[in-house]
Chains A and B, each alone.
Chain A
Amino acid sequence: MSPPSQLPFSRRRALKYASSGFGYLAFAALAHEQARAAGTSRIDPLAPKTPHFSARAKRVIFLSMRGAPSHVDTFDYKPQLTKDNGKAGQLGSTRGDMLMGSPWDFKQHGESGLWISSLFPGVAKHADDLCLLRSMQTDQPNHPQATLQMNTGSFQFVRPSLGAWSLYGLGTENSDLPGFITLNPRGSAQNYGSSFLPAIYQGSKLDSGAGRRGPNAGGGGAPKIPNIKNRDMNGEQQRVWLDYVQSLNQNDLSRRVHQPGIEGVIESFEMAFKMQDSLPEQIDLTGESQATLDLYGVGNATTDTFAKQCLLARRLSESGVRFIEVNHSSSWDHHQNLKNDMEKNCSEIDQPIAALLTDLKQRNLLDDTLVIWAGEFGRTPHSQGSDGRDHNNKGFTTWMAGGGVKGGFSYGSTDEHGYEAVENKMHIHDWHATILHLLGINHEKLTYNYAGRDFRLTDVHGYVAKDILA
């Protein structure tokens, strides 16, 4: 696969030769011609590309849990931890680290018999579709760095995000929508940025109408996209107007020779223009049956926010969006109030996630949609205070479902208490390599030349966990 980066829209390319001399008139004529010739000779950075090898997963839904959920209370069953409850932890009793068995019961589920705690009754029903990755590791025990590493591979430098790399590698199946959409992100835009990749690959933020503005807004309301309709211009006029804006941008670009920022402006306008038509339809949940809304938990105060996000994710994946990141709005940083807050958080997402899996399955989408659930790290088996757990980057759990992973499967393990991955360790780099592999991309071959060097998502690391491939 050759990097498409140097080849922008042909509309702009044509103008590179024409802009300085002909200006808007030439631009309009070319644009017109271009529109007629669309599909024949168009070189579009978002056009679908053939992967390195045939792949099961065509798209990704990444359920991101900000704040690092506890693995030993959810998907990493540790009977020895329960037995050793109250004993000194790894760091010794002088530091006050007493082991704390999970306050929740674990049971085996499905034919596969995966151990899942009582916090996820709905998700547990899909045990036979889940692939638990119980030996995750990341470099940093701090939230911003670890979140950045989970999203970009690097905790230190500005690098393109996983979604941007995926889009760069595969293009998108629906050029009327951004190929990478992130729902209600918080924190640094680097987490969904494109860094040195062209701006068209960065994630587009979308407010799903979830309660991001606090508990008093969004609940029950429709998702909102600000500024999606024009007050003064009809469609035809707006196209004329946009052509003029793009001719100005094109002129500007030709004067600067190379300016990724201007290319970003040009691309953002083209996409915005298309989104005016495509997006309202996408986010309009009124066409969904009551049964579907109920399945996800839309309208229920506890689940409403995440339910809308998950339902939207399904709709977007159905429409061919390549990478969708769903950001859970509550924090999982349970240094204290673990018992209450874990129950609260899990009850917000359990039903919506279960519904997402059910829904994707009944639409035959689960096979080629990779669903990922992950936080930036895990938590300590010992308690912090009487009712909390501290950060743990040495061992934690994420899971995948659909998209070519083995269902009802558990990969890797931590030590008897859950401190550290001991078997089949899976570093974030390995995780990234595996995700790209599932998308049909060889992580060592997906490169982008920048500053005289070929960059990769996995830098010089990454092993594909072949054992989890279906």
Chain B
Amino acid sequence: MRFTFLFISSISLSLSLSDAKGEELTDAQIDFFETKIRPVLADACYECHSNEGGRVKGGLALDTRDAMMLGGDSGGVVTPGDPDDSLLWIAMSYTDADYEMPPKKRLAPEVVADFRKWIEMGAPDPRVTEKQIIKSEIDIEKGREFWSFQPPVKTPPTETENTTWATSEIDRYVLSSLEENSLTPAPNATPETLIRRLSYDLTGLPPTPDEQGIFLAQWKADPARALEEHIDRLLASERFGERWGRHWLDVVRYAESTGKETNMTYPHAWRYRDYVIDSFNADKPYDYFLTQQIAGDLLPAKTDEEWQENLIATAYLALGSKGLNQDNSRQFQMDVVDEQIDTVSQSVLGLTVSCARCHDHKFDPIPMLDYYSMAGIFLSSETFFGTVTNAQNKRPSELLLLPIPDPVGKKLSREEVSSLENRLTSMRNEMIEYRSARDSMNGNAAGDAAKKALRTRSQMAILQARLSGLEEDGRQKTFAMGMQTLDAPVEAAVLVRGEIDKPAQTVNRGFLQVVQHDGAEPIPADSDGRRELAEWLTSEENTLTARVMANRIWLQLFGEGIVRTPDNFGTAGQLPTHPELLDYLALRFIENGWSVKSLIREIVLTRTYRMSSEFDSTAYSQDPENTLLWRASPRRLDAEAIRDSMLAASGTIDLQRPHGSYIAEMGDVRVGIRINEESINEPSSYRSVYLPVVRDLVPDSLGLFDFAEPDVVRGSRESTNVPSQALYLMNNDFVADQAKAMGSKLFNEFDSLEERIAAAFQHTFSRLPTHDETRSAAAFMQAFSSSGETGETDPILALSMFCQGLISSSEFRYLY
């Protein structure tokens, strides 16, 4: 892996696509091609480089003009007019030892001269396959009639019969739809329930007994003030960003490895994770937050800090899963672009644009041409994601070098650096030996040597990466994943059925017509289009962006969105249960400067949010899924909250943010050897958002409890209760250790059993036990102790088992 300081090598896709439009050829030109060029191509090249012949080595086919102009893995091969810049001629002339073609049969000098002349003539090529023009039959205007493509409007809620319940506009929307269906809202939740709900929803942690005490005392004096102040405290806490940042990380399929067959690590992904958390804590306006992630590298920055942050943000586009064993570079590039289109369109717009890669979208008014308009934007940039080369990784990339070195981080001594260098040198020597052994020996010995050579090469790549990641003085350089614009933006060719070797017409870079708004400027010829994309996405006229995010926020606070398919606002998604309310929220979001915290604050202050989850059989029989919000839906805590709550209850939680991540420590490696099932499950006291997120290897504490698999955009998680979770809570060492720590802590902190039991209930259920519950707990501890083999009573053990019982119970993992 090489690193560059924001260096971009331009890919010659632009010229190969745009320069291929030949003018009328003269007879002489055609004659020259047919007599001097075509026979040689057919005779000397087609065997390995033709679509017709079935072999396309190095991704290069030479049997049509389009294919030849498209080039292969190494880029374009013919630059009309400039043979010295044309790989085809360089290879034929045997002037570059890396490219000598045909490999075993050097062409005669006069033939090579013919090719030079032909390229100087502008490479006239009559082999024109009729250019296909793809047309769309989608009626965009008609498509715009669908609700989500209509601008949100504020429709005042209809008058309600009950005039005392609602305390906010949101309440009035909810109440009016309840009344329309002859339902009534549930009573208020108790303050104990409410503080627990708020604490989890805003910070992912239970209230501490102290916080609870203060809140309840204040509540007695002035409930409204107690509530507001508590909400503001939670919103100001750094825990808020860890909670809400994680929600966003679900949406953007954040992970620290490529996934798929090769699964290489992304040791620098964590910087993006921290960026997201910090952004939510800073209440960064959502429109700017999106702009940074899509076009941060193109934004003006006054300071290095700002520049650094902007660069890190663009990892949003680079974090996707990648098939690194792809032989064909162009296929790989289109797959990366597809993943970017998929992520942007689903996460921001709630649309599945990548369905239009091979044909017009089957459900939504998204023509295939729109897909390629967006593809042009991403093709005009290079994606930097790192990874080191090895036999299974054919597509490593470089990384972005950041302007500011890390404040912490290991510094290698001169000796350590030179020992690394020495190892590299000796590996290089071994490599030479293996290679010569491989070439000179036969049979098993040769095979052995070949294997060793391969292994040594991979090890060398890792070592080289480590060394090139060091400053002169042994400090770590700092890198990030992200995006950089190419020197010359390109327009994408529409690919027939999405196949890379079947280009049709090219289309201008642009956006989705159906979400297009009046007065939008076309993307300038010299811009790659990402800034314009960000502007279009965050425009107040975009009918989707604010709605989609408002819905995501609502979903996290109520368990379900107003649109229950948060990543699909198209016709295959579900319709909003409260369309006017959704529009109200979207418009409020924009009005308040896209402030996430303000919207959350407004929602959690409503009576709707403060309803109890009390069961009502009449309402249930009418609306079992609670789509009308007649009560608060009981919700299971997500994986992070369950694990963090255990750490909080045991008192062992470490609320500091770790520098980097376990994956960063492991560096550039392939998942499966040093990073394995055991190592990924190593206990840690940090909050769960800082646990390693490796594709296809998620820690059990997350994976067993419905963590969002980070392969695609996931705006909502499943919520299951299955035996594997019960086994985990019953038998896992980490859980048992938390229970023991909690038991010991309670034993030392309190003198009486009653106090210990009371405190344990507070730490796990955020409430005090009833008299019966205290008795039951004591009875259990006694029964447990006497069931031991020796009959000996170990009070701490029994207390710990009691704690583990609380942790394992339904009340611990449910929010009511």
Instruction: Tell me the A residues contacting B by CB distance below 8 Å.
Output: 20-25, 27-28, 94-97, 141-142, 156, 178, 188-190, 193, 196, 199, 202, 204-205, 212-217, 225-234, 236-238, 240-242, 244-245, 247-249, 251-253, 256-259, 261-262, 264-269, 271-273, 275-276, 336, 384-387, 390, 450-452
Chain A CB within 8 A of B793 CB: no
- Minimum CB–CB distance from A265 to chain B (whole Å) comes to 4
Q: Which residue of A lies closest to B501 (CB)?
A: A385
**A227-B731, A241-B784, A242-B730 are contacts. A24–B722 as well, Cβ < 8 Å?**
no
- Minimum CB–CB distance from A22 to chain B (whole Å) comes to 8
Q: Which residue of B lies closest to A142 (CB)?
A: B355
Q: How far is the CA of A45 from the CA of B814 in the complex (A)?
A: 24
Q: Which residue of B lies closest to A391 (CB)?
A: B358
Chain A CB within 8 A of B433 CB: no
Contact for B672 among A215, A242, A251, A276, CB less than 8 A: A215
**A-B residue pairs in contact (CB < 8 Å), sample of 18:** A23-B779, A24-B775, A96-B502, A214-B263, A225-B727, A226-B700, A227-B724, A231-B736, A237-B788, A238-B730, A241-B730, A261-B814, A265-B810, A272-B730, A276-B727, A385-B499, A451-B621, A451-B623
**A213-B677, A252-B810, A261-B634 are contacts. A272–B723 as well, Cβ < 8 Å?**
yes
Asked if A236 and B787 make an inter-chain contact with CB atoms under 8 angstroms apart, the answer reads yes
Asked if B772 and A227 make an inter-chain contact with CB atoms under 8 angstroms apart, the answer reads no
Q: Which residue of B lies closest to A241 (CB)?
A: B801
**A217-B677, A229-B731, A231-B736 are contacts. A95–B497 as well, Cβ < 8 Å?**
yes
Asked if B51 and A245 make an inter-chain contact with CB atoms under 8 angstroms apart, the answer reads no
Q: How far is the CA of A29 from the CA of B780 in the complex (A)?
A: 12
Asked if A96 and B496 make an inter-chain contact with CB atoms under 8 angstroms apart, the answer reads yes
Q: Which of A141, A189, A267, A276 has the most CB of B within 10 A?
A: A189
Asked if B731 and A249 make an inter-chain contact with CB atoms under 8 angstroms apart, the answer reads no
Asked if A230 and B730 make an inter-chain contact with CB atoms under 8 angstroms apart, the answer reads yes
Q: How far is the CA of A268 from the CA of B816 in the complex (A)?
A: 20
Contact for B727 among A226, A237, A264, CB less than 8 A: A226
Q: How far is the CA of A204 from the CA of B497 in the complex (A)?
A: 39
Q: How far is the CA of A454 from the CA of B54 in the complex (A)?
A: 56
- Residues of chain B within 8 A (CB-CB) of A249 are 809-811
Instruction: Tell me the B residues contacting A by CB distance below 8 Å.
Output: 51, 54, 132, 261, 263, 331, 355, 358, 362, 496-497, 499, 501-502, 572, 613, 615, 617, 620-625, 634, 636, 671-673, 676-677, 696-697, 700, 706, 718-728, 730-733, 736, 772-773, 775-777, 779-780, 783-784, 787-789, 797, 801-802, 804-806, 808-811, 813-814, 816
Q: How far is the CA of A24 from the CA of B769 in the complex (A)?
A: 13
**A25-B779, A226-B724, A256-B613 are contacts. A248–B811 as well, Cβ < 8 Å?**
yes
Q: Which residue of B lies closest to A94 (CB)?
A: B132
- Residues of chain B within 8 A (CB-CB) of A228 are 727, 731
Asked if B787 and A240 make an inter-chain contact with CB atoms under 8 angstroms apart, the answer reads yes
**A178-B723, A230-B730, A275-B727 are contacts. A248–B809 as well, Cβ < 8 Å?**
yes
- Minimum CB–CB distance from A279 to chain B (whole Å) comes to 9
- Minimum CB–CB distance from A88 to chain B (whole Å) comes to 14
- Residues of chain B within 8 A (CB-CB) of A259 are 615, 634, 810, 814
**A28-B783, A451-B625 are contacts. A188–B805 as well, Cβ < 8 Å?**
no
- Minimum CB–CB distance from A185 to chain B (whole Å) comes to 11
Asked if A268 and B725 make an inter-chain contact with CB atoms under 8 angstroms apart, the answer reads yes
Asked if A240 and B723 make an inter-chain contact with CB atoms under 8 angstroms apart, the answer reads no
Asked if B696 and A23 make an inter-chain contact with CB atoms under 8 angstroms apart, the answer reads no
Q: How far is the CA of A172 from the CA of B200 in the complex (A)?
A: 39
- Minimum CB–CB distance from B671 to chain A (whole Å) comes to 6
- Minimum CB–CB distance from A260 to chain B (whole Å) comes to 9
- Residues of chain B within 8 A (CB-CB) of A256 are 613, 615, 634, 816
Q: Which 4 A-B pairs have the closest CB atoms?
A: A264-B721, A24-B776, A23-B776, A272-B726
**A229-B731, A249-B809, A256-B615 are contacts. A275–B723 as well, Cβ < 8 Å?**
yes
Asked if B499 and A244 make an inter-chain contact with CB atoms under 8 angstroms apart, the answer reads no
Contact for A216 among B362, B673, B723, B773, CB less than 8 A: B673
Q: Which residue of B lies closest to A237 (CB)?
A: B787
Contact for B726 among A142, A189, A244, A271, CB less than 8 A: A271
- Residues of chain B within 8 A (CB-CB) of A276 are 727, 731
- Minimum CB–CB distance from A183 to chain B (whole Å) comes to 13
Q: Which residue of B lies closest to A225 (CB)?
A: B727
- Residues of chain B within 8 A (CB-CB) of A450 are 624
- Residues of chain A within 8 A (CB-CB) of B502 are 96
**A252-B811, A258-B615, A269-B726 are contacts. A217–B804 as well, Cβ < 8 Å?**
no
- Minimum CB–CB distance from A69 to chain B (whole Å) comes to 19
Asked if A386 and B54 make an inter-chain contact with CB atoms under 8 angstroms apart, the answer reads yes
- Residues of chain A within 8 A (CB-CB) of B728 are 226-227
- Residues of chain A within 8 A (CB-CB) of B809 are 245, 248-249, 252, 265
Contact for A240 among B706, B724, B784, CB less than 8 A: B784
**A23-B775, A96-B497, A259-B634 are contacts. A214–B672 as well, Cβ < 8 Å?**
yes
- Residues of chain A within 8 A (CB-CB) of B777 are 24
Q: How far is the CA of A303 from the CA of B805 in the complex (A)?
A: 43
- Residues of chain B within 8 A (CB-CB) of A266 are 810
- Residues of chain B within 8 A (CB-CB) of A25 are 775-776, 779
- Residues of chain B within 8 A (CB-CB) of A386 are 51, 54
- Minimum CB–CB distance from A376 to chain B (whole Å) comes to 16
